[in-house]
Amino acid sequence: MDEKKMPRQMTGAELNSMLKSNVNFKSLGGMRSDELTLSPEKKQWWRDAKIGMFIHWGIYSMLGRGEWVRFNEHIPDDEYEGLAEEFKGEQCDMEEWAQLAEDMGAKYMVMVARHHDGFALWDSPGSYQGFTSANTGAHRDFIKEYTDACRKHGMYVGIYYSNMDWRFPGYFDPHGLPESAQAMKKQAYDQVQELCGNYGKVDILWYDGSWLNHKGGDVSAAWLWEPVELNKAARKFNSGMMINPRSGWEGDFYCDEGSREIEGKIIPVPWEKNMCICSGTSWGWIPNDPPRDLDWLIHMVVDAIVRDGNILLNVGPDGQGKIPEDVQARVRELGQWIKANGDSIYGTRGGPVEPVDKVYGTTCKGNMIYLHIMDQEKFAGCTLPLTEYKALSCTYKGEPVEYTQDAEGLKIQLPSGLQPEADTIIVIQADRPIEIDRSEDIRFTGK
C-alpha cells in the first residue's frame, strides 16, 4: 500500500516569494483536523460560485462611525447598549438585500450575525444578558428574515460570527479572569450551534475575532477556543459547510481582507478576496462614503478570478437598514457587467496562463479559455505563452479575431478601433479540454 502523501508545508514568506504576490492571508497555520477537512468535490460549488455579497449591519450602524465604534470611542456600556432599544430596522427589508445580491450577480451571501460588540441579530438563548434584536427595540429575528430571503433568491447562505465579545473582561485578560473568558467561550459555542442548527442549511460559516486582547492572531488564541471542537459541533448540522480559517482551525479556504489591489501569480489553494464596495474605511456604514469607481471594481473582480479566487464584496446598510442609493446603483452596474460576462466567470478556474499584473489574465472552463485584457495598449504586441493547447478560434463578442500561434505562444490582433473598456474579453477555443492540476495539498504556516 502506498504511503499517504503528506501536505506540503509552506511558510507565509515562501508564499509571497513564490507567487510574488501582495495577498495577505489571515490566520495562517491554524490547527488541523482530518475529520474536518473537506474533499475538493465538496468545495466545488463554492469555487464555481465566484461572487458573494458581504453585509455588515448592527447597532453600530446607527452611529455611522464604523463597527469598532464602541471600543474605539470608549462608549459606556449603558449608553451603547441603550441604542439597542432604538435599533428597529424600520427600513430593513431582507428581500431587497437579497434582490440586490442577485442583481450584483452574487451566488452567495454572508451576513454579520454578531460583531465584536456582542449584539446578536437573532433570537439567541445563548446570548450573555439576552443582548439580542429579539429582546430589544426591533423585536425581530433578522437572521431568520435573512436566511429566508437568501433561499427565496437562490443564494447560498453564509453567516459571519465573531467569537470575541468586548462585554467580557476575560477577553482582555483571559489568564487573569479565566471564568469570564470561559463564559465568553460558552456563549460562542452556544451561539454557533444556534446559527447552524436553527435556520436551515447554512452553507458558509465565516468567523472573525478569535484573537484575544487585541493581540496576536486567531491561531494564537486557539488554546481558549478549541476550534476543532467548535467546528465539529457546527458541522453536525451540515457536513459540507464551508468554514473560513478565522476560528483558529485552518479552514476550507484562505481570506485576503482589504482593498489592496491584487498582484502576483495564480494562487494554488481555495481563497477569497474580502473587500468593500465603498472606500474600505469601515465595513459598517459611514455616511457619504461613495462607492468605488466601476472600472476599478471590475478590475478587482477580474484580478481575483484569474488567480483562481472568489470575491466577497461588502455593503453596509445604515442604522435603519437602508443601503444607500448610490451604493445600490453601483452594485447593479457591476452586476450588469458580471452577468454579461458570466461565461468567463462562473464555474471557471484561473489559468492556464499566469496573469501579468494590470495587463491580462485568463480563466478557463472545458475547452474554452477566456483572456481578460485590462490594458489594451500594454497587451498589444504581447505573446500569450499558450503552447500546450492549439487555438481553434479566437473571438471578441462573437466575432472572429485574427491570431497566429507558434512555438512561443499565441499572438492576438485586437480589432482596430476597439473602444477602451475595463476588461476586454477574448474567447479562445482550444483543441481539447483545459487541464488544471492543482491537486497538491499545500498548507501555509504562519511563520
Is the per-residue pLDDT at 391 higher than 60? yes
Is the per-residue pLDDT at 2 higher than 60? no
Beta carbons within 8 Å of 385's beta carbon, 6+ residues apart: 353, 354, 408, 409
Q: Does residue 14 belong to any structural domain of this protein?
A: no
How far apart CA 385 and CA 360 sit, in angstroms, is 12
Contact 155, 107 (CB under 8 A): yes
Q: Name the domain count of the chain.
A: 2
432: which 3 cell numbers? 481539447
- Reported as a single tens digit per residue, the pLDDT across 182-239 is 999 999 999 999 999 999 999 999 999 999 999 999 999 999 999 999 999 999 999 9
Q: Does residue 226 belong to any structural domain of this protein?
A: yes
Contact 292, 257 (CB under 8 A): no
Given 297, 327, 344, which residue is the final one in a domain? 344
Domain harbouring 41, CATH code: 3.20.20.80
Give the chain's end-to-end CA distance (angstroms, integer).
34
Q: Are 362 and 321 in a shared domain?
A: no
Helix residue ranges per DSSP H, 40-168: 40-49, 69-72, 77-82, 94-104, 142-152
Confidence of residue 109 (pLDDT cuts 50, 70, 90): very high
Q: Are 334 and 379 in a shared domain?
A: no
pLDDT given at position 445: 79
Across the range 373-400, mean pLDDT stands at 96
**How many other β-carbons are positioned within 10 Å of the β-carbon of residue 361?**
28
Confidence of residue 443 (pLDDT cuts 50, 70, 90): confident
Please provide the DSSP assignment of 242-296 as one string. EE-STTSB--SSEEEESSPPP-SS--SS-EEEEEESS-SS-SS--TT-PPPPHHH
Q: Are 153 and 212 in a shared domain?
A: yes
pLDDT given at position 440: 64
Q: Are 412 and 284 in a shared domain?
A: no
- Reported as a single tens digit per residue, the pLDDT across 347-375 is 999 999 999 999 999 999 999 999 999 99
Sign of torsion over alpha carbons 95, 105, 64, 190: positive
Mutual angle of helices 142-152 and 94-104, in 10-degree steps: 40
How far apart CA 383 and CA 413 sit, in angstroms, is 10
Q: Does residue 11 belong to any structural domain of this protein?
A: no
Across the range 316-344, mean pLDDT stands at 98
Q: Are 206 and 258 in a shared domain?
A: yes
Given 344, 376, 393, which residue is the final one in a domain? 344
376: which 3 cell numbers? 489594451
Q: Does residue 8 belong to any structural domain of this protein?
A: no
Longest dimension (CA), the chain: 72
pLDDT given at position 5: 58
Given 329, 344, 359, which residue is the final one in a domain? 344
pLDDT given at position 3: 47
Q: Are 221 and 356 in a shared domain?
A: no
Q: Are 262 and 363 in a shared domain?
A: no
**How many other β-carbons are positioned within 10 Å of the β-carbon of residue 95?**
12
Q: Are 220 and 72 in a shared domain?
A: yes
Q: Does residue 3 belong to any structural domain of this protein?
A: no
DSSP strand pairing (349-350 vs 8-11): unpaired
Contact 316, 282 (CB under 8 A): yes
Q: Are 149 and 115 in a shared domain?
A: yes
pLDDT given at position 395: 98
Domain, as residue range, for 357: 349-430
Q: Does residue 393 belong to any structural domain of this protein?
A: yes
What's the whole-model pTM score? 0.95
- Reported as a single tens digit per residue, the pLDDT across 4-55 is 555 667 676 766 666 677 888 989 999 999 999 999 999 999 999 999 999 9
pLDDT given at position 399: 96
Q: What is the mean pLDDT of the chain?
A: 95
106: which 3 cell numbers? 452574487
Domain harbouring 409, CATH code: 2.60.40.1180
Q: Are 243 and 379 in a shared domain?
A: no
Per the listing, cell 429579539 goes with 134
Is the per-residue pLDDT at 165 higher than 50? yes
pLDDT given at position 1: 36
Q: Are 287 and 379 in a shared domain?
A: no
How far apart CA 6 and CA 401 sit, in angstroms, is 46
Q: Are 284 and 402 in a shared domain?
A: no
